[in-house]
């Protein structure tokens, strides 16, 4: 735990806070009855919910651009130590999150430890860790122009390999794409996500490669904001960049569909474009119009993003484990006895908002105490 630095980039904290806020809402719906904009696209396609994860990676890149100056005062060994330490800790937190609560009850009501042999290896935090680690090495060792070239090459290479390496006639099916084959070979089905009804990991090893570009693009945008973000010319250029990337992603969708679960190259370009537009709007309202009264709610999330995300996930898991009635989790019990009276869909949304507000209260307390969890 550390005290916050004296100077922060308000628009970045707001952007990151909005991402965490929305992430909690979409992850903790009270039941299966969820409004369609709050669900991920089933396969090809895009919903507002699909923007959450890439936006967080974009924000990670933004934040990196503000700490690079500190790296210049450190030795190479110190910088690499920081990068690998942070990558390892975030990855480990993600792995432990999926292993938690570390035990289960068998049909004979015996409590047994959950076996590592059936624990998912990859996930949201693991992808954040890997994308951060790779992107950090790129921006540390290469000049900005070279990083941009490498990032574009990654997207083009991923596109080519996915189309050539999948099974004919459609190389982009859930169990026929190249990423699925690699994950199955490296991890086996027991270590993969099964929420789709089959062993398929939407945060797989191969599809993590293009997610690195969300971080590097976020880094470049962060550097640009520091240099020209306070001028109308700079803000206009950022908006134009966002609009251009959205158009490119839209047309790229024709040959490489926008797909969050495959993390397609068109998905990367499309989401980075939207993020550029959103952060431009935030900068305009906060820095140009000076309207900051509304920002406090989101900065509470933005200043403690990792801790609040872990709190939301671990807390929800605890609610699932506790059973006030046989076979009924506390999570479901609360929804059925309180929120369901508002309607199936509205009740689920109100449950998610309530859980988000609970996490906010904890974050607000930490912010008041100047406690910020860092890795």
Q: Give the residues of the chain that fall short of pLDDT 70.
A: 1-8, 102-113
| Residues 76-99: tens digit of each pLDDT | 999 999 999 999 999 999 998 888
Short-list 46, 54, 122, CA closest to 268: 54
| Residues 329-350: tens digit of each pLDDT | 899 999 998 999 998 999 999 9
Cα-based angle 312, 313, 316 (whole degrees, multiple of 5): 85
Measured distance CA(10)–CA(299) in Å, rounded:
8
pLDDT at 110: 61
pLDDT at 69: 79
Cα 221 vs. chain centroid, distance in angstroms?
A: 18
- What predicted TM-score, i.e. pTM, was given to this entire model? 0.91
The total of other beta-carbon atoms located within 10 Å of residue 67's CB is: 12
């Amino acid at each position: 735990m550390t005290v916050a630095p004296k100077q922060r980039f308000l628009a970045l904290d707001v952007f990151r806070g909005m991402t965490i806020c929305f992430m909690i809402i979409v992850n903790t719906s009270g039941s299966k009855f969820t409004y369609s904009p709050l669900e991920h696209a089933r396969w090809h396609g895009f919903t507002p919910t699909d923007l959450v994860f890439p936006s967080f990676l974009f924000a990670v890149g933004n934040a990196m651009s503000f700490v690079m100056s500190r790296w210049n005062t450190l030795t190479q060994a110190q910088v690499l130590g920081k990068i690998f330490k942070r990558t390892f800790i975030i990855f480990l937190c993600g792995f432990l999150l999926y292993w938690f609560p570390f035990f289960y009850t068998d049909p004979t009501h015996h409590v047994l430890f959950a076996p590592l042999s059936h624990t998912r290896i990859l996930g949201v935090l693991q992808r954040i860790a890997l994308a951060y680690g790779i992107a950090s090495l790129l921006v540390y060792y290469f000049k900005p122009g070279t990083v941009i070239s490498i990032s574009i090459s990654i997207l083009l290479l991923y596109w080519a390999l996915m189309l050539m390496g999948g099974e004919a006639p459609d190389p982009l099916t859930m169990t026929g794409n190249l990423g699925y084959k690699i994950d199955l070979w490296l991890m086996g089905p027991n270590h993969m996500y099964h929420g789709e009804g089959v062993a398929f990991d939407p945060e797989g090893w191969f599809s993590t490669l293009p997610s690195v570009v969300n971080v590097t693009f976020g880094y470049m945008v962060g550097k640009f904001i520091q240099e020209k973000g306070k001028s109308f010319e700079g803000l206009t250029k950022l908006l134009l960049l966002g609009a251009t990337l959205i158009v490119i992603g839209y047309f790229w969708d024709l040959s490489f569909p926008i797909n969050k679960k495959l993390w397609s190259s068109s998905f990367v370009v499309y989401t980075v474009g939207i993020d550029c537009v959103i952060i431009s709007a935030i900068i305009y309202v906060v820095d140009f119009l000076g309207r900051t009264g509304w920002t406090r709610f989101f900065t509470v999330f933005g200043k403690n993003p990792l801790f609040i995300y872990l709190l939301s996930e671990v807390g929800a898991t605890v609610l699932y484990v506790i059973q006030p009635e046989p076979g009924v989790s506390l999570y479901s019990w609360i929804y059925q006895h309180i929120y369901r009276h508002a309607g199936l869909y509205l009740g689920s949304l109100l449950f998610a908002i309530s859980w988000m507000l609970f996490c906010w209260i904890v974050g607000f307390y930490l912010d008041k105490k100047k406690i910020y969890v860092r890795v």
